[in-house]
Structure 1
Amino acid sequence: MTEPRVPPGRAGRMRLRRSLDVALRGADLLDQKLRILRSRHAELLRTQESAQERWHRRLREAESWLLRGLLLDGEEALDTLDFTRPAALAVVWTSTMGVRHPQSASCMTPERAPGALAPANSALVHAEAAYREAVRAAAEYAAAREAARAVGAEVLSTRQRVRALQRHWIPRLQTALVRADLTLEQGEHEDAVRRRWAARTLDDWS
């Protein structure tokens, strides 16, 4: 940061005082924002962790059912599964202290068409349903991870701004204000000395 530019005299001191007041208020507001963001980020990280565990659990269940189905009827049984049905993703957005991020996500997976070929065995029926649940859980995890990432990035940015104000800009303004006070005091002292000298000179002449 560059040194603050200070006009000479009392006008410069008033400008420094205002700048310092603004910086102090800004640092205080940013610090409050940072505390809120940190608390929210911690919540989002817990949500992310929970969503990730749920997704992994659903995926393991689906893989387990698939393995059972393949052991019963072989790899040819995969031909009875329909992997072409598209899923529809819906994301609800919200904001935390101005940071836009996903609040939730839902994934709709269409049911098997009435006339479609049924899975070769009951294990594959369970596998198909389990994979639908895994896809839904994956969507929820992706939304939770993005929310934690967005708020986490704002935590870092806000912390940097707070530190820049508290460690650099505010101390420089305070130092400049002290210098301005000393300069004004010295100038007023010199003016008083000159006035006294001028008064004595007039007395000597009179």
Structure 2
Amino acid sequence: MSVHGREVPTGRAGRLRLRRSLATALRGADLLERKARLLLDRECAERRVAEEAGFVWRNRLAEADSWLVRGVMLSGERALAEAVPEGQASVEVRWDTLMGVRHPAAMAWAGPARSPAEPTPPNTALAHAETAYRAAVRAAAEHAAHQAAADLLAAEAERTRQRVRALRRRRIPRLQSELAAVELALEEAEHEEAVRRRWAAAQGAG
């Protein structure tokens, strides 16, 4: 049996197969829509956190730059270079998985440690600048982690919506059309069989 140029199952077995396929497609579309909603909800939450971290980052950076200018004016650039700690900041990202999407979930940041032998900032302005720069770096790392998480979740949500559209617009209508054709054919066959039986019964009675 051909429907729209496609060979489809026939008979009662074919109808059962199509009904199962249609039920599976409908259930799959519902589950994918639920997945997309969950992903979009988490994406929105991640973007809100990223936006807040970005606001803190920009403010702390501007504050740090302002203190830096004052500190350099007071003690000179040489004092600034000598007061920079030798250690480096470290960032550790913890990853999580939501609906199959692996994404950054938390961030641990540690500023550069200053050994007892290292000089401290020679004036209060440079000390404030160091504190503000540390806060700015931490906020920048948080912004990057949450922004990356939002982007990954958004990409998977879009792929999921595309799969839903393919099911809702193509596969499900096709299965419904094929099932309707099979059911019509079965109905006609059953009607013809009933007519033959009545004819045979009438012939026997005659």
Unaligned segments of structure 2, at least 5 residues: none
Aligned residue number for residue 49 of structure 2: 47
After superposition, what is the alpha-carbon deviation per residue over 1:41-93, rounded to whole angstroms, capped at 9, x for unaligned?
21111111111111111111111111111222333333223264222222222
Identity within the alignment, %: 53
Cα distance between partner residues in 1 of 2:125 and 2:5: 73
Q: 1:4 to 1:22 in 2, by over 3 A?
A: farther
How big is the shift at 1:113? 1.5
Any idea what SS the aligned residue of 1:124 has? Answer: helix
Please tell me the residue identity of whatever aligns with 2:58. Answer: H
Moved more, 59-68 or 93-102: 93-102
Aligned residue number for residue 114 of structure 1: 116
Moved more, 19-28 or 90-99: 90-99
Aligned residue number for residue 10 of structure 2: 8
Give 1:110-149 correspondences, 5 Å limit: 110-149=112-151
How big is the shift at 1:13? 0.7
After superposition, what is the alpha-carbon deviation per residue over 1:137-182, rounded to whole angstroms, capped at 9, x for unaligned?
1111111111111211121111111111112111111111111111
Give 1:71-90 correspondences, 5 Å limit: 71-82=73-84, 84-90=86-92
Contact kept in structure 2, 1:48 and 1:144, CA below 8 Å: yes
Moved more, 76-85 or 136-145: 76-85
Aligned residue number for residue 98 of structure 1: 100
Unaligned segments of structure 1, at least 5 residues: none
Cα distance between partner residues in 2 of 1:50 and 1:119: 30
Q: 1:47 to 1:3 in 2, by over 3 A?
A: farther
Any idea what SS the aligned residue of 2:112 has? Answer: coil
Tell me the C-alpha RMSD between the 2 structures: 2.3
Aligned residue number for residue 179 of structure 1: 181
Aligned residue number for residue 30 of structure 1: 32
Cα distance between partner residues in 1 of 2:130 and 2:186: 82
Any idea what SS the aligned residue of 1:115 has? Answer: coil
Q: 1:27 to 1:5 in 2, by over 3 A?
A: farther
Contact kept in structure 2, 1:3 and 1:172, CA below 8 Å: no
How big is the shift at 1:191? 2.9
